Amino acid sequence: MSVDGALETWSRRLAGREDLPRECAALLPCWREEFPVCVHSPAIRNSLVAEPETFLFCNDSRLVVMKRSPGEVSVFQSSLDTIEALEMETTLLHSCLTLHPRSAGPVQVPFNTVSEHLFEPVVAAFRKARAAEVPEADPSRFPCPDPFRDLRVLDCKYHAFAFRVLAGDEVKGFFHHPTEPAPGLCHRSRVIPSYLLVSSGSMLYALSTRNRFHSGPIADYSLVVRYLPFASGIALDLRSTPGNRTYRMLELGAGSAGFQLPLASRAERDFTGFARTVQRLAGQA
């Protein structure tokens, strides 16, 4: 059984063809010439997850994921312009990159968070392939004036992560949903955790926690970042929840990929203004 954070669970960059198992090398004969991003994630087996060994290959236009189990190798390959949405989820030492291709179900690549830097080029390649115009990635770039200055006090977690996620992309508008009560029949102390939606000229970014509801004000160390390109076709729809008037479900769509976040009733006015901005920008993209 793997121990959380153990060196044996860290992903690594493949240095040469000899790093590939024979059965994988046969399926990708020209891998080094075609794919500058080559990452190996070892099998993870602990009390929380059981994932096979994974190999990920990516260039500016194409991506291949191989999963190797005893006696079997499954292969997913796709051009980046048919990936409709991308998610990066992190909870302490557990992380997962999830791809949402147009003609298949989600493809997940779990990895130890220590190795997150190896997967950042995949996110950058996806953004470049799916966005109309993306500046050179620069997480240290700090716009002036700061578009998220109000979040320094209201929600410092998202204030800090927003700049890292956008990596220099221009902010056209954003919507911050604060932590709000969402009482239910069995969970009277239930709350909606805060989240942040940011729009650039060609991408909708959604930053949230893993769970849509919490039973009370507990600490949450998760972060889910969703990249939703306007080119996929953006949908922002509100769906009523039977028997509850304190919130509705916000359905975020990017092509065939769909996600849900609860929206408190008293936050709807601010969200409506943001949704208009997104729809206008999506129509121009």
In tens, the pLDDT along 4-52 reads 567 788 999 997 777 888 888 888 766 656 888 999 999 887 656 678 9
Question: Based on the domain organization, do 124 and 207 belong to the same domain?
Answer: no
Are residues 274 and 178 part of one domain?
yes
If asked whether residues 157 and 276 sit together in one domain, one would say: yes
125 plus 177 within the same structural domain: no
251 plus 171 within the same structural domain:
yes
Whether residues 190 and 71 fall in one domain: no
Q: Is residue 60 a part of any domain in this protein?
A: yes
Same domain, 268 and 176: yes
Confidence of residue 235 (pLDDT cuts 50, 70, 90): very high
Q: What pLDDT is stored for residue 9 in this prediction?
A: 83
Same domain for 122 and 199, yes or no, is no
Q: What is the number of structural domains in the chain?
A: 2
| Short-list 129, 126, 97, 93, CA closest to 110 | 97
The number of beta carbons lying within 10 Å of the beta carbon of residue 140 is 8
Both 230 and 270 in a single domain? Answer: yes
Phi, psi (degrees; rounded to nearest 5) at 17: -60, -30
Residues 157, 122 share a domain? no
Going by the DSSP 8-state scheme, the letter that residue 138 receives in this structure is -
User: Does any domain span residue 93?
Assistant: no
Q: How much is the pLDDT for 182?
A: 80
Q: Poorest-confidence range of 12-16, 166-170, 214-218? A: 214-218
Q: 122 in a domain, yes or no?
A: yes
Of the three residues 129, 161, 192, the one that is the final residue of a domain is 129
239 found inside a domain: yes
Nearest to 45, CA basis, from 101, 137, 110, 102: 110
Is the pLDDT assigned to residue 204 strictly greater than 90? yes
Is 261 a domain residue? yes
How confident is the model at residue 31, as a pLDDT? 61
3-state secondary structure 142-171: CCCCCCCCCHHHHCHHHHHHHHHHHCCCCC
Q: Are residues 165 and 272 in the same domain?
A: yes
pLDDT for position 1: 45
pLDDT value, residue 33: 62
Cis, peptide link before residue 145, omega less than 30° from 0? yes
- Mean pLDDT is highest, among 39-53, 110-124, 201-215, for 110-124
Residue 170: which of 136, 123, 119, 121 has the closest Cα? 136
User: For residue 227, what is the domain's CATH number?
Assistant: 2.30.29.30
Is the pLDDT at 284 greater than 50? The verdict is: yes
Q: Classify residue 134: in a domain, yes or no.
A: no
Q: Is residue 191 within 8 Å of residue 217, measured between CB atoms?
A: yes
**pLDDT computed for residue 217 by the predictor:** 62
pLDDT computed for residue 5 by the predictor: 60
Residue 43 lies in a domain: yes
Q: What is the DSSP letter of 270?
A: H
Q: In whole angstroms, what is the distance from residue 276 CA to residue 272 CA?
A: 6
Q: Strand pairing of 173-177 and 83-91?
A: unpaired
Same domain for 21 and 67, yes or no, is yes
pTM: 0.90
Residue 210 scores a pLDDT above 70: yes
By residue range, what is the domain housing residue 45? 7-80+118-129
Domain-embedded: residue 232:
yes
Examine the pLDDT at 270 and tell me if it is beyond 60.
yes
